[in-house]
Amino acid sequence: MRYPILFLILIALDLAYDLVLRILQASRRGEPLPETVRDIYDADGYARWLDYSAEKRKLGAVEKIFDAAVLTACFGTRAFSAVYERLPGGDAVKSLLLLLIWTAVTTVLSVPFDWVREKRVEAKYGFSRTETSTFVRDEITGFVVNALLNAALYLAVAWTWGRFGLRGFFIVFLILAVFVVAFSMLATVFQRLYNKLEPLPEGTLRDTLAELFRKAGYELENIYVMDASRRTTKVNAFCSGLGRFKRIVLYDNLVNGYSEDEIAAVFAHELGHYRRRDTMKNTAFTVLLMAVVTAAAAWFASTPEMSLAYGFEGVSPVFGVILLQAVLLTPVMTLCMIPRSAMARRFEYRADAAAVESGYGEALISALKKLSRDNFSDLNPHPAVVALEYDHPTTADRIRAIRERESGGASGGTA
């Protein structure tokens, strides 16, 4: 019976970690804002931000507690093997059905939370414009994608485990690594599932961005504008494509609300990432994370007691997949994300420095302030939360670093 207890402890620890961070965040209410970001929200705006973040935090906490309760109930009552035994068909069919049921149950249970988040909280503060039809479509697409990924993962694990035993996990890991790299290359293909992308029309913005990329030694394949305003008033931009050929995607909110200098500053920053191959390093880190997760799966497969303790007759690959996702993945990811976020924050400072060197320091500061306002960012998060979870430094820290670099490196003479 030690495995059920071990997993219940993991679920409890994960919940405790989440709640402690939320409490730390809540304790920041009433602290004065750092000097550099005091002009981002007016008094009304900031009061609204405090309410918004408190509401989101509470909703997140309720969802987390609810999820932990569902998991505890499922693992505490051996529900998985009980359902498995009542399903028709051979082992493979039963396994796929169980996985499908589990994916459906977790999706259905998260729908009310997603609904409240989108239609109550985000909409109340004017961020979400998601129509009910878009919401339903997103939920269904999300379910189908999850079900397919789960089924593929199960089939890969079951097949290699049956054929190669423990060594098979190395093969699964290689397949996953290829998948992760392909995914980062095909990011824009996936965005098309959810969004419409239109090429940015000819004009000075297009010329400025193309010139910026050319100077840095990249070929710009195309610039797209994504219809993000259909869902959100928040702002973002990203770049995809490996190697020299880059594809930029801008949220339409960015194109409509920001000056050309500010948009160029955002991309001077992005180029800073590319020059240092930050995206590739992030992908490499993800592959490393996969290795840890695969090792956890191999540990499961070599320990039949885990399946037995939950009422299965031997090692059950489908139970392994469920266990991995529901219990093991979050703690493993949480631990791996701490060094990864620290690395990502360093990359952000460096990319900001690249923008300063291209002469866009002031434009970047003004873009960062607008971005913080439009994305309703936390201007004063708890330092412990930043250290553990943030993949970007706070706006105040970034502005301070940009100012320091501008006053320190005044010898360049760029206009």
Binding site for Zn ion (CB under 5 A): 348, 351
Q: Which is nearer to Zn ion, 75 or 258 (CB)?
A: 258
Strands 237-240 and 245-251: antiparallel
Contact yes or no for 332/326 (Cβ under 8 A): no
Q: Which is nearer to Zn ion, 173 or 274 (CB)?
A: 274
Exposed, middle or buried by CB within 10 Å (0-12, 13-18, 19+), for 228? buried
**Which residues in 252-285 belong to E strands, given as ranges?**
none
Residues paired with 248 in a beta bridge: 223, 239
Q: Which is nearer to Zn ion, 96 or 351 (CB)?
A: 351
Q: Which is nearer to Zn ion, 87 or 342 (CB)?
A: 342
- Give the amino acid at 356: V
Closest distance to Zn ion from the beta carbon of 233 (Å): 21
Closest distance to Zn ion from the beta carbon of 347 (Å): 7
Strand, helix or coil at 391? coil
Q: Which is nearer to Zn ion, 172 or 344 (CB)?
A: 344
Q: Which is nearer to Zn ion, 262 or 348 (CB)?
A: 348
Residues 6 or more apart from 216 whose CB is under 8 A from it? 271, 274, 275
Q: HSE (CB half, 13 Å, CA atoms) of 383? A: 3
Closest distance to Zn ion from the beta carbon of 270 (Å): 7
Cα dihedral value 253, 242, 353, 285, nearest 10: 100
Residues paired with 237 in a beta bridge: 250
Residue 222 sits at the vertex; the CA angle it makes with 221 and 225, to the nearest 5 degrees, is 155
Closest distance to Zn ion from the beta carbon of 401 (Å): 13
Closest distance to Zn ion from the beta carbon of 352 (Å): 8
Q: Which is nearer to Zn ion, 122 or 348 (CB)?
A: 348
- Cα separation, 222 vs 206, in Å, equals 9
Q: Which is nearer to Zn ion, 297 or 371 (CB)?
A: 371
Q: Which is nearer to Zn ion, 18 or 348 (CB)?
A: 348
Closest distance to Zn ion from the beta carbon of 283 (Å): 15
Query: Taking the alpha carbons of 385, 386, 392, 395 in that order, is the dihedral positive or negative?
Result: positive
Closest distance to Zn ion from the beta carbon of 363 (Å): 15
Contact yes or no for 169/160 (Cβ under 8 A): yes
Q: Which is nearer to Zn ion, 328 or 351 (CB)?
A: 351
- Cα separation, 289 vs 50, in Å, equals 35
- Cα separation, 134 vs 111, in Å, equals 13
Closest distance to Zn ion from the beta carbon of 52 (Å): 24
Closest distance to Zn ion from the beta carbon of 191 (Å): 18
- Residue 28, sorted as left (phi over 0), alpha (psi -120 to 50) or beta, turns out to be alpha
DSSP 239: E
Closest distance to Zn ion from the beta carbon of 274 (Å): 10
